[in-house]
Amino acid sequence: MFLMAVLALLVAVIWIYLSVFKVLNKPEEEPVLTPQEARVINPQLDEEVFDELEKRNY
Amino acid sequence: MNTANTAIDQKRQQARNKRFLQSPQGKSLAWLSLSVSTVAFFLIVAIKPTVITITKLIKEIEEKEAASLLLDKKIASLIAAQKIYAENSQRLPMLNQALPEKSEFPWLANFLDSAALSSQIELSSLSFEKINLNLASLAKQSQKPSSYQSINFSTNAKGDYLNLKNFVSLLESSRRLIRIELAGVSETKKKNEEETNTTLQLNISGVMFFENE
């Protein structure tokens, strides 16, 4: 009887562990941000292009 | 005979078990087994769903924190971009001159004509490749996403060396993005003319660009 109880406890602990593992490794069904929302723009601007264009008159 | 012995053994065993359960050790073991079974039952029925919910929430919080950090970064880059845009807003129309939204090929014809006039050379021919003026069909046709489209052109001009050189330098000083792919100079001799006034012919093939909407 005692052995069966210990076995049940062991099964319960392993079951919980596997369930948690499954939840942690489950791929995201819907990402929090869309790829467009996640895209970070680069604010760097090469101002030499403007200087170069200003030199051109036509 | 055997079955009778077995039955006796079973009865003895039952009596032994009964005695053991009535002893203090047996009672303790029974209570301990009951406690462990109860713990196992509650682990499965109550603790497991709670632990799974907690894990899901922790995972969700981590994902949302990462998204929040990314959005903070995006906001910072947008503020920086806005500042740079404000600083350069007066110069931005130059970009439209360099890379217009439409092909604006008449501009190039006009530009080459005025450049030829100011360089005092004779523009003998100007040709463009086939131009699709329907931008919607143009976008459908282009399989690869590109930020610009291009139009090929070629022109022939006649004049002396210095004027042709001046013409090419005017072409190079154009704000519109033009790439000269090929430039060739050949000599054309006219009858009844002295050798000192030899006319040169300039052939230019190039590409001009415009924005792909």
Q: Is the pLDDT reported for residue B136 higher than 60?
A: no
Chain segment B137-182, per-residue pLDDT in tens: 555 555 555 677 888 889 999 988 889 999 888 888 888 888 888 9
The distance between the two most distant Cα atoms of chain B, rounded to a whole number of Å, is: 147
Query: Which has more confidence, B58 or B174?
Result: B58
The token pair at B204 is 């230019």
CB distance B98–A53 less than 8 Å?
Answer: yes
Chain segment A30-58, per-residue pLDDT in tens: 888 888 888 888 888 888 888 888 888 76
In the prediction, which pLDDT does B195 show?
54
Q: How many CA atoms lie within 13 A of B17 on its CB side?
A: 8
Q: What is the 3-state secondary structure (H, E, C) of B8-34?
A: HHHHHHHHHHHHHHHCHHHHHHHHHHH
Burial class (CB in 10 A: 0-12, 13-18, 19+), B171: buried
Whose structure tokens read 């806005």? B82
In the prediction, which pLDDT does B129 show?
81
Task: Please list every residue in chain B whose beta carbon sits closer than 8 Å to the beta carbon of residue A17.
Answer: none
Question: In this structure, what DSSP letter does residue B176 have?
Answer: S
Residues of B with CB under 8 A from a CB of A: 29-30, 32-34, 36-37, 39-41, 43-44, 47-48, 51-52, 55-56, 59, 63-64, 66-67, 70-71, 73-74, 77-78, 80-81, 84, 88, 91, 94-95, 97-98, 111, 115, 170, 173-175
Q: Is the pLDDT reported for residue A4 higher than 70?
A: yes
Q: What is the 3-state secondary structure (H, E, C) of B47-58?
A: HHHHHHHHHHHH
Alpha carbon of B139 to those of A24, B134, B145, B149, B209: distances in Å?
Answer: 43, 9, 9, 10, 15
CB distance B51–A16 less than 8 Å?
Answer: yes
Q: In total, how many domains does chain A have?
A: 1
Chain segment A5-36, per-residue pLDDT in tens: 889 999 999 999 999 999 988 887 788 888 88
Q: Is the pLDDT reported for residue B67 higher than 90?
A: yes
In this prediction, residues B14-35 reach a mean pLDDT of 84
In this prediction, residues B28-51 reach a mean pLDDT of 91
Task: Please list every residue in chain B whose beta carbon sits closer than 8 Å to the beta carbon of residue A33.
Answer: 67, 70-71
pTM over the 0.80 mark: no
In this prediction, does ipTM exceed 0.85?
no
In the prediction, which pLDDT does A27 show?
82
CB distance A50–B94 less than 8 Å?
Answer: yes
Query: Which has more confidence, A19 or B19?
Result: A19
Give the span between the Cα atoms of B52 and B58, in whole angstroms: 10
Side chain identity, residue B153: F
Burial class (CB in 10 A: 0-12, 13-18, 19+), B86: exposed
Domain of residue A14 covers 2-55
| Gyration radius (Cα) of chain B, Å | 45
CB distance B174–A58 less than 8 Å?
Answer: yes
Whether chain B has a CB inside 8 Å of the CB on A13: the answer is yes
CB distance A56–B56 less than 8 Å?
Answer: no
